[in-house]
Structure 1
């Protein structure tokens, strides 16, 4: 088995797509925009074999037709969302294990932002591709689910090993960080991360789950509950998400 290589690709205004290359094969996680993805493939001499989709929003699937036409890649996504995803060659359910460039990828149920949202955890690459569930210093806005559903989704992701690289779908670090500072102002790890991101010393994403645990207010809901005058983590998460919605 060859060592896995992950490439983060900036797309549209603030999206990330990710290439995972291993065993002479390449898989793409989410497809916001074709041109930068095709450019990244060409620069490395890689051929795209497969596209894995986290959820149905256009800024994550809009480039699928062009990429399939250009590369012949197969498309894989959630069975629950098959009616609103591009045509799928394989439909997955939570708990399934699928192939990602010759590596097993576990399908994790992460609804909240949308119903049917899934994430992919690739243990051999020490990476999780989380779309708009767990994001950099934040989490996706709850459009179709509810706060308990999203909190449960974050807990599933938070149970992964600390060294897992969280490959999230957006660079919202400036806005998410500004909000985080209002609810967690004494967090030195958060300040250090934001400073490094602002000076381009480190990218917004991907980062390890350990760093998200230290800086992401939604994962830190248990620690912030008392500050918010609430009794438990789920209530604190719901309050934080409502505060961020109105930030």
Structure 2
């Protein structure tokens, strides 16, 4: 029986693909200790950067809305300054931002290497990003609800905490999920300057040592982390939207 050359090529390619998959699965146990440590580093960086993003980005977003024309405390000059700061923070590519704040990172944590050091540029990059998302979510709150609370003599701080934020909660959670997903990708880029995590492992073990197994393993783990974060966030947003 004669085999067509094209069919033989397809069979050879299929065989090579199956062999590559088998080799990747076989290499997984040896890679797992390094992968697990790097995954923990990535989650550590993303967690703390998310915390700082909320602590600083949420009030910044509230101020952007409150100081705008027609806001609770109109202050055009303050609004313009804050908006400019946010725009500058968002316009810098993250890899440039990491290098630009190396001195600040060293001052704050004593080093520019490792997951803890990477939290500084991650937070600085995410705070203005999240602030804009907060601003967008708060602008979607029904204006009549805010005016009604104001007409009843409710204090401005109370209006923010008891009316605006609860009404915009679904949008705020959606923005937070988007920020977390962005931070995961940023944390991978942090590996380019020794930030640790899965990005650092992909560069050191995968790219520099030409080990495709590590490259694909880190890609798979990053995809899983993003999917889990996005799925949990979407579930929470749907539950809040039904209320």
TM-score by length of 1: 0.24
Q: Whose helix fraction is larger, Structure 1's or Structure 2's?
A: 2
Higher strand share: 1
Higher relative contact order (CA 8 A, sep 6+): 2
Structure 2 length normalisation: TM-score? 0.24
